[in-house]
Amino acid sequence: MNIGLKNLLLKTADDSFIVGHRNSEWTGFGPFMEEDIAFASMAQDKIGHAWALYKLVEQMEPDHSAEWLAFQRPLKEFKSCHLVELPNAEYDFSLIRHFLFDEAELLRYTLFLESSFEPLTHLARKIKGELKYHTMHAETFLFQLANGNEVSKARMQSALNECFPYALGLFESFEGEKELIQEGIYPGEQVLKDKWLAAIAEMIAEAGLKMPEFHAASSVEGGRNGYHSDFLLPLLTEMREVIAIDPNAEW
């Protein structure tokens, strides 16, 4: 299997899988009932996206099932970025992470629509519609809270400043990326990053917030190469509690 394609599929799947679990943790703890429902719905979508991507890897590497990739793969083989691994903290943090992540995801799947790898193109057509809902949700609350009162605006700006360096790690380069660009499978992380920066800068300014200053060294990276935050292992341990009892059980 093309190593670049495998890495692209796995890192995209791992991000969705982990952030989907983080979103699910808001169930019963949201600021109001509609948000419980919204985050639970988006969590379900995210895990579904991850499942579809893991299935693509499984089809090309039958030795490893989608279940194994999600629940039994060694920690070092996960390729999730640090942004999705971080605990939820307060609602403002989770909302800003949601905004930064899903704006990037929508653009990523838009690029996938032009991929020369046909299975990814087909999948992107299905997923992009769900991501439009996710970004609409994030944008709605971004504007509402940024224009609420001085306290809510200050909290949103603080959360944005905190999340932003981690969000830059979404665009960390990975092994085999150059080959994917040459083969027309994916135009590369720099192309996606440039589109994302232009898109969010406009929305952040419209919301009355300030775009954080950044440079190359401010990006929190490592996840694409197996170097994770301290929060991933406890999260995976929790997610694997059932399968750890009997890894060979059939459900």
CA distance 185 to 5: 8
pLDDT of res. 52: 97
CA distance 145 to 10: 34
Q: Which of 115, 126, 136 is nearest to 48 (CA)?
A: 126
Q: Domain map of the chain by residue range?
A: 3-245
Please report how the helices 118-146 and 33-60 are oriented relative to each other, as an axis angle in degrees rounded to 10.
Answer: 160
CA distance 76 to 80: 10
The conformation of residue 32, written as its DSSP 8-state character, comes to S
When computed from its CA atoms, the radius of gyration of the chain, rounded to whole angstroms, is 18
- Alpha helix (H) ranges present in the chain? 3-24, 33-60, 66-71, 82-85, 91-112, 118-146, 150-168, 177-183, 189-206, 232-239, 241-245
Superfamily of domain 3-245 in CATH is: Ferritin, core subunit, four-helix bundle (1.20.1260.10)
CA distance 30 to 39: 8
Q: Any residues with CB less than 8 A from the CB of 217 and at least 6 apart, and which?
A: none
Q: Any residues with CB less than 8 A from the CB of 62 and at least 6 apart, and which?
A: none
CA distance 174 to 176: 6
**pTM (2 d.p.):** 0.94
| Residues 78-133: tens digit of each pLDDT | 999 999 999 998 899 999 999 999 999 999 999 999 999 999 999 999 999 999 99
What is the C-alpha end-to-end distance of the chain, expressed in Å? 29
Q: Show pLDDT as tens, one digit a residue, over the chain (251 residues).
A: 699 999 999 999 999 999 999 999 888 776 777 777 888 899 999 999 999 999 999 999 988 899 999 999 999 999 999 999 999 988 999 999 999 999 999 999 999 999 999 999 999 999 999 999 999 999 999 999 999 899 999 999 999 999 999 999 999 999 999 999 999 999 999 999 999 999 999 999 999 999 998 876 689 999 999 999 999 999 999 998 888 887 776 65
Q: What SS3 class is residue 220?
A: coil
CA distance 159 to 95: 9
